[in-house]
Amino acid sequence: MTISIAICVIACILMIAGILFFPKIKIGKLSVDTYWVVALAGALSLVICGQNDFVSIGKKLAENSAVNPLKIVALFISMTILSVYLDEAGFFSYLAAKTLSKAKSNKKKLFLYLYIIVSVLTVFTSNDIIILSFTPFICYFSKNAKINPLPFLAAEFVAANTWSMALIIGNPTNVYLATANGINFLSYFKIMALPTLVAGVTAYAALRLLFNGQLKESLQPCEVVEEIKDKPAVIFGVVMLAGCTVLLAIASYIGWEMWLIAVAFAAGVSLGSIIMSLLRKKSNVCLKNTLKRAPWQLIPFVVSMFVMIITLSDKGATQSMAAALGGGNAVEFKYGIAAFLAANVVNNIPMSVLFCEIIKSAPASVAVNAVYATVIGSNICAFFTPVGALAGIMFGNILSRHGIKFGYLKFLKLGLTVALPTLLLSLTTLAAVLNI
């Protein structure tokens, strides 16, 4: 067990170091993210050192179970393709422009409207897509309007990583934790709706207190013109996303697996886009860019982390962690806070894979409560430090390209002011909901 733990700890340390200091490796024109390369190296090291083997790993990956990481990644990537397709068609930038135009010269209105539109879109798409779509737009708008972008960037980032708790599809961690524990779409929503609402309101109130002084100033008029690039593509994409969401909601009642539904709709969007481009005799730039932007790197990353965690589980490490967390009272707070802190050490996706194994070893009486508490920790952790979630890593990369400084200390200030009260109140609400 000692060798397995040592390899996993070293891999996690190097992964976080890579995220902070050398996020990409450049080989000629090719640019590769370091986080999944380090994770893959860690998984391979376990095999080389005899802590696991390819036959056992292959059997685990071939299992027809809810915890199969390939199914979970397929679900998330497929949902991402549906959302990115809409973004490439101009849907999100159009909504952002409309939101900004409604605020006119009032910064407080702009702050509120931005928070609301990001919250609503995050519920039905995913936090990562919203971060990728809205962050560059806010940067450009703030530069043209000559205003400090930080309050609005913080509002976007916090909203995207709070309201992502509402549905299973909002975050890959939700997908992994819920499906691995047999929780269906509607059962998840029934439990998480109220904690998400409380978290969302708390986060907004904390943000307003933090940035109140900067929002008192009036906003210089700045015309924002943004047209939908491809109306047929937007209509088609919205219909497909809506249809997919409805089928995911009733999947457990009709006996269909969620990952198959998502894959089918992603394939449908791709095929439909090809047909539309052929009929209109236009180059299919929208689909090409969508497939380029899809998070394919999640496949080696999640599989590698899965290998490391099942190795730790086989060696008895996760059982020891489950015993340390224990059962009894305040399960929601134990698991929620532990997940929140662990994610800011190893990132939220590895943390979710780890906690799935810990929950398996926990007493059956606390398992469901532990799953939902871990979901909350895995989302809110994103705005405590920059390494808490992939969304934070992407957010930081975008800001650096625009010359905007949002360093570790600023992130931590946001976390201490907003994340902590949001975490505690949402966990309190979860405990109340589960004990009704």
pLDDT per position as a tens digit, 50-85: 888 898 888 888 887 766 788 878 887 898 898 889
Element (H, E) at 284: none
Range ranked top by mean pLDDT from 86-100, 128-142, 266-280:
266-280
pLDDT band at 239 (very low <50, low <70, confident <90, very high): very high
The one-letter amino acid code at 50 reads: G
The one-letter amino acid code at 398 reads: I
Q: Is the per-residue pLDDT at 217 higher than 90?
A: no
pLDDT band at 240 (very low <50, low <70, confident <90, very high): very high
d(CA 67, CA 177): 8
- Tokens linked to 374: 């871990």
3-class SS of residue 49: coil
- Tokens linked to 418: 């907003």
Element (H, E) at 33: strand 30-33
Residue 30: exposure state from Cβ atoms within 10 A (0-12, 13-18, ≥19):
exposed
pTM of the predicted structure, to 2 decimals? 0.82
Q: What is the pLDDT of residue 222?
A: 58
Between strands 30-33 and 24-27, the pairing is antiparallel
Residues 118-176: tens digit of each pLDDT: 999 888 887 887 887 788 878 877 777 778 889 999 999 999 999 999 999 888 889 88
The one-letter amino acid code at 16 reads: I
Q: Is the per-residue pLDDT at 220 higher than 80?
A: no
The one-letter amino acid code at 290 reads: T
d(CA 188, CA 177): 11
d(CA 223, CA 41): 49
Q: What is the pLDDT of residue 103?
A: 66
pLDDT band at 226 (very low <50, low <70, confident <90, very high): low
Contact in structure between 346 and 12 (CB atoms under 8 Å): yes
Contact in structure between 213 and 108 (CB atoms under 8 Å): no
Helix and strand tally (H, E) in the chain? 21, 2
The strand pairing partners of 31, in sequence order, are: 26
Kindly calculate the radius of gyration of the chain based on its CA atoms and give it in whole angstroms: 21
Q: HSE of 182 in the Cβ direction (CA atoms, 13 Å)?
A: 5
Mean pLDDT score across all residues of the chain: 86
Q: What is the pLDDT of residue 63?
A: 80
Q: What is the pLDDT of residue 93?
A: 79
Q: What is the pLDDT of residue 373?
A: 96
- Mean pLDDT, rounded, for 193-218: 92
Contact in structure between 122 and 160 (CB atoms under 8 Å): yes
Using alpha carbons, select from 113, 79, 69, 81 the residue that is nearest to residue 95.
Answer: 113
- Tokens linked to 55: 């036959």
Q: What is the pLDDT of residue 392?
A: 81
Residues 330-383: tens digit of each pLDDT: 788 999 999 999 988 877 888 888 898 888 888 888 889 999 999 999 999 998
Q: Is the per-residue pLDDT at 272 higher than 90?
A: yes
Q: Is the per-residue pLDDT at 269 higher than 90?
A: yes
